[in-house]
Structure 1
Amino acid sequence: MSSPVIPLNSQNLVFVEQLFSSYLFDRDSVSPEWREYFDTVKNGDDRLTSGWSPESPFSARSMFNPPGAKTPMLGHEAPASRLDEASRQERLDQLIRNYRVRGHILASIDPLGSTRSSPAELDPAFYNFQESDFDRDVSTSWVGGPATRTLRGIINWLKQTYCRSIGAQFMHIDSLQVRHWLAQRMEESGNRIKLARDEQIRILQRLSDAVVFEEFLAKKFVGAKSFSLEGAESLIPLLDMAIEKAGNEGVREIVIGMAHRGRLNVLANIMKKSPRTIFREFDDADPELYIGRGDVKYHLGHSANWETSRGNSVHLSLCFNPSHLEFVNTVALGRMRSKMDRYRDFKRERGATILIHGDAAFAGEGIVQETLNLSELAGYRTGGTIHIIVNNQVGFTTTPKEGRSTTYATDVAKMLQIPIFHVNGEDPEAVAQVVTLALDFRKKFKRDVVIDMYCYRRRGHNEGDEPAFTQPVMYKEIRKHATVYEGYLERLLNLRGITRDEAQRIEKERRERLENELSEARRDDFIRCVDHWGGVWGGYQGGPAEEADNPVTGVKREKLTELLNQVTRLPEDFKPHPKAKRLLETRQAMARGEEPLDWGGAEIMALASLLDEERPLRMSGQDVRRGTFSHRHAVLYDNDTGKSFITLKNIIDERGYVNIHNSPLSEAGVLGFEYGYSLDCPEGLTIWEAQFGDFVNAAQVIIDQFIASAEDKWNRLSSLVMLLPHGFEGQGPEHSSARIERFLNLAADDNIQVCQPTTPAQMFHLLRRQVLRRWKKPLVVMTPKSLLRHKECVSTLEDCAEGRFQEILPDRLELKTEEVKQILLCTGKVYYELIQRREELGIRHSMIVRVEQLYPFPTLQLEKLLADFPAEIPVNWVQEEPSNMGAWGFLRIRFGEKFLGKFPFERISRPASASPATGSSATHKMEQDKLLTTAFELE
């Protein structure tokens, strides 16, 4: 007979847990099958899946009274003494469980000494235990430690484990195996770590590094903003231990994301950034280098190589981050995923991401939830993130009760199946225990883990702020509070792990080193380290557009035919949806030249051509596999089985090259992730597509603070592509405009590219140019909706085989200069409506020129095209958007009343509006008709 399998469902969960944790049976009396099963579960094999119910032959009564048992163990036949023992054991089991669930409430995690009242369920009296019970032996085989001990002993052990300097939340995790693993790890050791003397000395040294650095800055740069780490110095030994342990266990890349609190300390003491460089930045001694560019010192990133005590090398990358605190989270995760894909680390074992949060931001900013939600999604998984909350117990001036509706700042993390460890930052050895446990958990289960390090902020929000204005009582306590370094030093002195002389020597060495670094920083011949593009970015360039290369992007026609045929080939037994099958048949006809090339065909062909050249592709967005408007179908689904097939894998099937992922319903988080991915993949094509271009405004922080400004602020390049469906088609205010004006307002110093191609071939060349260019800039593409199937919006294979992306497209009519009475400039879908109206009117006096690239604006090409036209000919910019939106404002500021300094320049558009578009389809048609009529009226 095989071992029974019991499901973990709401009906029997409590019963099963109590059964396993108490052993209310005589082990020798149960059947061998049950005995084997109990032992299997106790050893952590979580096989509780299906096949058991209370009504089955393996009912509760048969468990306790198995066939052939010598003595009944449940029911009226059992002796009273046995029932009393069972009752006592059951009550103890409930107490043990509640310590696991609620013990964190009594944990001494606040270094400022605040306490909370004890929950009733942690009081033995709640379970009717009497004084006479306290010294009675009880079974504790399911608790770490001896199999039996007294009730008094087990309660003391539970308090040691769950109510000292560490408060653990883990019983919200569904998996019995995970909960038991965590409980066993904590209970066997009393949730403490035994450190050797050299490990204790190393912690003291790292605390000294942190404390001396902050004291030095405060003394030498009085009043200067540094957003110091004072009060939270345990962060430095925490990071030190995390990097050491991870590096010694096979991790070779660590990406760190954090806000500005403590960043300078981390830069100096973890990232090994030269203190002299930091001091030079404080002195602000090189103003001529930063005219119009650069960033404040506590936003800067850095990279370094770390050698562990065992000689293992770990590459560290601290991401640049603005003051938008948590928005760097998914950027860091994207970088790690990109690194893992580059090194074919598909088991997600050789890299780790550490995110350092503030308590108020972790609870308050929605991007945190978006970040957590990515953790277990296949397209975004990185093997588990280590979240560290530097819990200052206050925001800028906002108290926790004003800033969150939850008990802990970390409660949002309970959405995941992960443990949360609250730890007193003034107990460095408790911090060491939590770090060890957290990294072991991450390694075993490849999930996120949260360390909530309670500390305080010794100064105000910044060094010029007076915190006692708003937290007077708190800061009275802080002012008389010794540093964590002093407290830990006293502990080691009492243990005789170190002498006072040794400690003073450590401090003296640190101070002398910083004095020397400051002297070097203030030398007249100081040589500034120039941050060139290196590593994976070696050979690429940013800078002005006139230095950009313009590679050949055409592909031989025979190759295009081959590629297009390859991406229409399916496995023999695969049955696509009938409409998808027709689409593939149409693309086969395109390959034969029997059908014109539409948008979807050109796009998939561009992707295939890049994969054929071994350029990796990553594309994500809410519906990218099919495409919101059903034009892409990069991933097909069997109509009978639902099984998916990616046709692009017919080009290259090696893992890591074709990555097309539907994203969660997130803009800011996912766009940040893809931006981060692009930072470590300059040779590939990284695309984020909005479901509708309008929704990009939910990711405006990522666009403003990272994508548009990173090169100017941080000298960081990206080749990210953003595809934003755009066009006024009567679908309402939220399905019309991708807000071209916002991108153009951000456009300066050739920082981004903003394009709106109007033919499939243009899209083909644009995507290929983005990858093949050595000149790397983010690319924003206003993509079509109705044009995806417009009979005029087509190309040929020859259009893709020859030429390059054209930044402007001249009128398709060959008009003589003397015929032209006006010049209409436009971009996007309105072009096709303009040429249709012109044909309906039968006129030839209006020349229509498409601007396919709005930024960098193609001034030279337009000057060449219009060179022979007389200055009195008016140039009108035609746009569907209201006059206060679209490209008009950008062009008007750029050219004024004379286009190219020569032609009268006016606009034709909808009137200014607070909303992008009407919600009425009929009204839209009226407005569009008026727009087109006005375009061809001559005064």
Structure 2
Amino acid sequence: MHGQRNLGCAPEGVHSAQCTDNEPGMRTARRAQCAMHGQRTWDAHRKACTVRNARTTNLGCAPEDVHSAQCTDIETWDAHRKACTVRNARTTNLGSHRKACTVRNAHQLILIFFCFFITKKNLELFPYALPPELRFKMFRALVSGSRRRNPHAAARYMQARNLSFAQNKNWDGVGVQQPQPWTKAGRLVEAYRTHGHKFAQIDPLSQWTPAEHAPELSPLRHGFTSDSEPVESNGIFGLPAETTVVELQAALRKIYSGRISVEFQHLFELEEREWFAQRFEQLSRENFPAGTKKRMAELLIQTQVFDNFLGSKYPTLKRYGGEGAEGNLIFMDQILTLAAELDYHTAVVCMPHRGRLNVLAINLGLDPSYMFRKINGKSEFPDDVKSTGDVLSHLSASADLKMGDKKRQIHVTMLPNPSQLEANNPVAVGKARGRQQTLKSGDYAEDTTAGDGKKVLCIQIHGDASFAGQGIVAETFTFASLPHYSVGGSVHFITNNQIGFTTPSNVGRSSVYSSDISKINACPVIHVNGDSPEDVLRATTLALEYKDEFGKDVVIDMLCCRLHGHNEVDDPTLTQPVMYDAIRRRPSLPDSYAKQLTEDGVLTADDVSRIAKEYDTTLRDAFNNIDKFKPKAFHLEREWSGLVQPSKSITVWDTGFPIDALKYVGAKSVEAPKDGSFETHRHLEKTHMKARFERIKEGTKLDWATGEALAVGSLLLQEFDVRISGQDVGRGTFSHRHAVLVDQVTNTRYVPLNHLIPDQEAKYEVANSVLSEEAVLGFDYGMSIESPKRLVIWEAQFGDFFTGAQIIIDTYVTSGETKWLVQSGLVMLLPHGYDGAGPEHSSCRIERFLQQTDSSEVSIDGDDVNFCFAVPTTPAQYFHLLRRQIVRNYRKPLIVASPKTVLRLPAAVSDLSEMAPGTHFQPVLPDAAATDSKKVTRVVFVSGKHYYTLDKHRDAEKIGDTAIVRVEELCPFPTEALRVELQKYPNAKKVIWSQEEPRNMGAWSFIQPRFQNLLGVNLTYIGRPQLPAVAVGIGAIHEQQNKDIVQGTFA
């Protein structure tokens, strides 16, 4: 009946798909739907639905884009909207109109409850359980009463889904239709696409399947009554047009429940789901040419020869071989070949220990002599290079490879890795992001930026137990689509040997698959049997094509096994006797695949023997060349050429900048767009922007944030990129930075320092991070090691929170250079200071960092310490520290115990003259107030904001016999500068170290032996007593401790 017009809400594209006369698969639906209107063609039906008569009101509920598609007889949307809004006295507005549409009659109310019940039970299946004429009534009834912001969203989603199947898609590579999704055959196909993985044969040991039963795959569930029931397949999967349920199910099992399976129906976008199904079904029927199969056999034979060679020459070596997981090499070869063909410039790889040596030697072409030299106890670096080195399983390499038949070049970097599993993930992503920025792939200036991923490929290889168990995996996944962290997708490959050391997977995780954590980002997952090399190749192809098409992460879960225990001297039968009985009886993959190809006539027995013999000869030649082999240091090549290893003495670097240029930068740092389109916050404009402009104009009393802005801006003018990352860094935890201005009307972000000059090349990337420390710091470390021409800063919200990133600090920041010769200029800002904020908001644990330095207690430090630790107390000192990171000819991590209350302290200001050319950072600041050094009987050494507390008390009490000397840099320890200060005060009777921190914390345990051994001074300690917690949480006790420290210092 015209008053209900069920098709009135459907978009034009759906009408055209449903009501056409020339598609046999839709005739029943067309006749059922169009008969209600007495129309037999789409054109007539569309006109009838558009302007039926003056009583037509149902279209008034449709969203604007649906109206525009339906109302072709109405000149404009505005006219139609008015007509729908005030059609007659009974329907005077859209609100009452919707109510009229919602409760049209009792028939629709019944449908609403019916739809709600089915929708709640299974939103994906319910449309297909009804005949078309009821299905579209149900759509309309369901959504007309919806409380969604777009009341037609559910209907439009389901109609679009139907439309995608109704169209002539090239799903199976031969240009034929698939069964319609509401038919019984269509429902069965959808069930296998969703649940087929549950019965997949992906375990090479045949001991595990994901599910014991999957009722969703039963034909009975989808309306079939017998196995022999005929099915209109439309030629799907190469089946005859008329087939049976058994034949259809067999084809579906072969594709979705074989030795490769997929999980993709959870993808959010319909386009991605359709693409994934189409491409997977195409790949499942592709046969590989003989050349591809020979290449796979060659890789497998070589890796077996490699493992056997090492096993025979070094039987007790813990090499973490690739036996049982040989598919790693097929994955790596295929992904690098495809990446080169797709014009990727660089691949950044992170990989744990399992099979790492095999990949380095065979895929990346690392000279085996390099490994043999290391195994024999020698350094992996030249003898004249200062390094502690790392273990064999952490070796790394970079290479320019020519891949595939076309010999397309791609630069591949496998990063060094620590033993802390998965810690390498964010480092690899950061390195890839940094490489994208170096290659100008993407825009990195404002808040909406993301790497496009078209030039740099990030490959992350994982272990199954660590992928499921380590929290840093989930933290790193959060970067996937975030501004300033995205790399346009990573390809993840899980080497799933189904055990973690001795812990089986059923007690190592709660999820079915080790890959399930990736679903937090709705990543597609490809499960593959590691003993099926051709399916590993298919999985790799599908993964990279998806990543390249959609710029999103994708996961390959390769189930395999581990021939030996966790290492080659471990006995796994102590804890996994059944598993290892199956492993011992299993033929090796290289042997079985070579045998298969020999039987198929692709290879001959002579070919297999030749490949093995040639690679064995290569290894023997390398083994015999160990004593002659001279390793090369790769750490100062490419972008890093021109830099040096730091010297054994402390050097001073001129880090000043022309004052006129600094004034220009300072003014620009608070300048909003001049066209008047940007509305700044009124309070910010007064207290921050105008105030800074006035101070810059005068050149005096510059605060902390201004000093930072001048350092950053001056580096940008010198064409060095700068990045600051961390929680809330745009504004600053303490609302002091305001590097990003926010339009108060449009919410638009604007970074003034990115607009210093026209066509500015260098960028200031202000990255407000996710609420994570470990992964974010790892990411920024990765950014810092990519190029020496980028200053990368990570700021903790409070200094105490660095503890969440302890693994990155221990294994990368403080030790990366000595282990791997990888220089980093990363800056860590850790707000520190005892302000009564309690145990977790007071200390950046100065003592822990100082304990990790290689500073000497008995000899004078040089620039070659493993990192620098500073506690600057003035904006000028901070300015020079930041610029020094880039100006000097080597890179060192800098850890700064940065201030909190000092950020706005009137006494903690600097003049532009302190930043002029010829000025530099001073590791020790003399006491300018101690004008008569001969009267000084007490010398107090101090670091950080504690100086201002003591200085204020000295002034208030008019104490004239005390000099307060600030130690601004603790590591490298400034022995000579301190000696100069001590010599100024010949009458000093007491030398004190005063600190806010407890005695068992802070710098005391670091300072005391160096003063005694290097300067011959016995310090007196003044500070808090030993405490188990960093600080007290009781205000009265905190205040009393402060008084005791001040009084004790001057007693």
Q: Same-fold call, TM > 0.5?
A: yes
From 889, 914, 917, give the equivalent of 1:799.
914
Aligned pairs (5 A) from 1:788-827: 788-802=903-917, 803-827=919-943
8 Å CA contact retained: 2:723, 2:765:
yes
From 682, 690, 697, give the equivalent of 1:578.
682
User: Could you tell me how far 1:491 is from its partner in structure 2?
Assistant: 1.7
**Residue in 1 aligned with 2:832?**
726
**Residue in 2 aligned with 1:882?**
998
From 433, 436, 440, give the equivalent of 1:344.
440
**Residue in 2 aligned with 1:114?**
207
**Residue in 2 aligned with 1:365?**
470
User: Could you tell me how far 1:494 is from its partner in structure 2?
Assistant: 2.2
CA distance in 2, matches of 1:345, 1:575: 31
User: Could you tell me how far 1:279 is from its partner in structure 2?
Assistant: 0.9
Pair 833,212 (structure 1): closer, same or farther in 2 beyond 3 Å: same
User: Could you tell me how far 1:364 is from its partner in structure 2?
Assistant: 0.3
**What is the one-letter code of the residue matched to 1:794?**
V
**Residue in 1 aligned with 2:417?**
321
CA distance in 1, matches of 2:1031, 2:64: 54
From 364, 379, 382, give the equivalent of 2:487.
382
User: Could you tell me how far 1:660 is from its partner in structure 2?
Assistant: 0.9
Matched, 1:711 2:826: no
**Residue in 1 aligned with 2:366?**
273
Pair 825,88 (structure 1): closer, same or farther in 2 beyond 3 Å: closer
8 Å CA contact retained: 2:300, 2:329:
yes
**Residue in 2 aligned with 1:768?**
883
User: Could you tell me how far 1:161 is from its partner in structure 2?
Assistant: 1.2
Pair 777,286 (structure 1): closer, same or farther in 2 beyond 3 Å: closer
8 Å CA contact retained: 2:29, 2:133:
no
Matched, 1:334 2:430: yes
**Residue in 1 aligned with 2:408?**
312
CA distance in 1, matches of 2:1022, 2:65: 68
Aligned pairs (5 A) from 1:32-47: none
User: Could you tell me how far 1:642 is from its partner in structure 2?
Assistant: 1.2
User: Could you tell me how far 1:674 is from its partner in structure 2?
Assistant: 0.5
486-495 or 598-607: bigger deviation: 486-495
- What SS does structure 2 have at the residue aligned with 1:238? helix
| Unmatched segments (≥5 aa) in structure 2 | 1-6, 32-39, 47-62, 68-97, 112-130, 138-178, 443-451, 855-863
526-535 or 717-726: bigger deviation: 526-535
- What SS does structure 1 have at the residue aligned with 2:488? coil
Alpha-carbon displacement from aligned partner over 1:436-482 (angstroms, at most 9, x marks no partner)? 11111011000111000100010011111111111011011111111
User: Could you tell me how far 1:25 is from its partner in structure 2?
Assistant: 4.4
**What is the one-letter code of the residue matched to 2:353?**
H
**What is the one-letter code of the residue matched to 2:670?**
T
- What SS does structure 1 have at the residue aligned with 2:411? strand
User: Could you tell me how far 1:815 is from its partner in structure 2?
Assistant: 3.5
- What SS does structure 2 have at the residue aligned with 1:546? coil
CA distance in 2, matches of 1:460, 1:223: 13
8 Å CA contact retained: 1:4, 1:33:
no
From 256, 259, 266, give the equivalent of 1:162.
256
CA distance in 1, matches of 2:697, 2:791: 27
**Residue in 2 aligned with 1:546?**
649
User: Could you tell me how far 1:26 is from its partner in structure 2?
Assistant: 5.0
**Residue in 2 aligned with 1:518?**
623
Pair 556,147 (structure 1): closer, same or farther in 2 beyond 3 Å: farther
Pair 477,596 (structure 1): closer, same or farther in 2 beyond 3 Å: same
CA distance in 2, matches of 1:537, 1:30: 70
From 932, 935, 957, give the equivalent of 1:841.
957
- What SS does structure 2 have at the residue aligned with 1:916? coil
**What is the one-letter code of the residue matched to 2:569?**
G
From 57, 74, 78, give the equivalent of 2:133.
74
TM-score, reference length from structure 2: 0.81
**Residue in 2 aligned with 1:255?**
348
**What is the one-letter code of the residue matched to 1:74?**
E
**Residue in 1 aligned with 2:220?**
125
**Residue in 2 aligned with 1:563?**
665
**Residue in 2 aligned with 1:299?**
394
**What is the one-letter code of the residue matched to 2:1026?**
A
User: Could you tell me how far 1:857 is from its partner in structure 2?
Assistant: 1.0
8 Å CA contact retained: 1:192, 1:430:
no
CA distance in 2, matches of 1:88, 1:372: 33
**Residue in 1 aligned with 2:732?**
627
**Residue in 2 aligned with 1:431?**
536
8 Å CA contact retained: 2:526, 2:557:
yes
Pair 125,289 (structure 1): closer, same or farther in 2 beyond 3 Å: farther
**Residue in 2 aligned with 1:184?**
278
**Residue in 2 aligned with 1:746?**
852
**Residue in 2 aligned with 1:81?**
none
Pair 899,505 (structure 1): closer, same or farther in 2 beyond 3 Å: closer
**What is the one-letter code of the residue matched to 2:779?**
F
**What is the one-letter code of the residue matched to 1:932?**
V
8 Å CA contact retained: 1:358, 1:389:
yes
Alpha-carbon displacement from aligned partner over 1:809-863 (angstroms, at most 9, x marks no partner)? 0112133333111211111110000001111221111110001111001111111
Aligned pairs (5 A) from 1:607-626: 607-626=712-731
User: Could you tell me how far 1:51 is from its partner in structure 2?
Assistant: 5.0
| Unmatched segments (≥5 aa) in structure 1 | 9-14, 36-47, 62-71, 79-85
Alpha-carbon displacement from aligned partner over 1:346-380 (angstroms, at most 9, x marks no partner)? 13201101111000000000000011111111111
User: Could you tell me how far 1:289 is from its partner in structure 2?
Assistant: 7.3
TM-score, reference length from structure 1: 0.90
8 Å CA contact retained: 1:815, 1:847:
no
User: Could you tell me how far 1:32 is from its partner in structure 2?
Assistant: 5.9
CA distance in 2, matches of 1:298, 1:33: 73
Aligned pairs (5 A) from 1:9-20: none
**Residue in 1 aligned with 2:93?**
none
Matched, 1:99 2:192: yes
8 Å CA contact retained: 1:256, 1:316:
yes
**What is the one-letter code of the residue matched to 1:565?**
A
Pair 348,75 (structure 1): closer, same or farther in 2 beyond 3 Å: closer
Structure label with greater radius of gyration: 2
Matched, 1:908 2:1022: yes
User: Could you tell me how far 1:526 is from its partner in structure 2?
Assistant: 3.6
From 514, 519, 523, give the equivalent of 1:418.
523
- What SS does structure 2 have at the residue aligned with 1:701? helix
- What SS does structure 1 have at the residue aligned with 2:500? coil
CA distance in 2, matches of 1:790, 1:144: 77
From 768, 777, 785, give the equivalent of 2:900.
785
8 Å CA contact retained: 1:875, 1:899:
no
8 Å CA contact retained: 2:233, 2:239:
no
User: Could you tell me how far 1:318 is from its partner in structure 2?
Assistant: 0.5
CA distance in 2, matches of 1:135, 1:485: 43
CA distance in 1, matches of 2:579, 2:190: 35
CA distance in 2, matches of 1:559, 1:658: 17
Alpha-carbon displacement from aligned partner over 1:4-39 (angstroms, at most 9, x marks no partner)? 54999xxxxxx9xxxx9985845696626999xxxx
Pair 797,24 (structure 1): closer, same or farther in 2 beyond 3 Å: farther
Pair 775,94 (structure 1): closer, same or farther in 2 beyond 3 Å: same
8 Å CA contact retained: 1:330, 1:673:
yes
Pair 398,854 (structure 1): closer, same or farther in 2 beyond 3 Å: same
Matched, 1:31 2:37: no
**Residue in 1 aligned with 2:81?**
none
**What is the one-letter code of the residue matched to 1:344?**
K
User: Could you tell me how far 1:266 is from its partner in structure 2?
Assistant: 1.2
Matched, 1:470 2:565: no
87-96 or 258-267: bigger deviation: 87-96
CA distance in 1, matches of 2:692, 2:239: 68
Number of residues of Structure 1 aligned to a counterpart in Structure 2: 893
Indicate the RMSD between aligned Cα atoms, in angstroms.
3.1
**What is the one-letter code of the residue matched to 1:265?**
N
From 643, 647, 650, give the equivalent of 2:752.
647
Pair 123,688 (structure 1): closer, same or farther in 2 beyond 3 Å: same
What's the % identity of the aligned pairs?
Answer: 37
465-474 or 923-932: bigger deviation: 923-932
**Residue in 1 aligned with 2:246?**
152
CA distance in 2, matches of 1:384, 1:251: 13
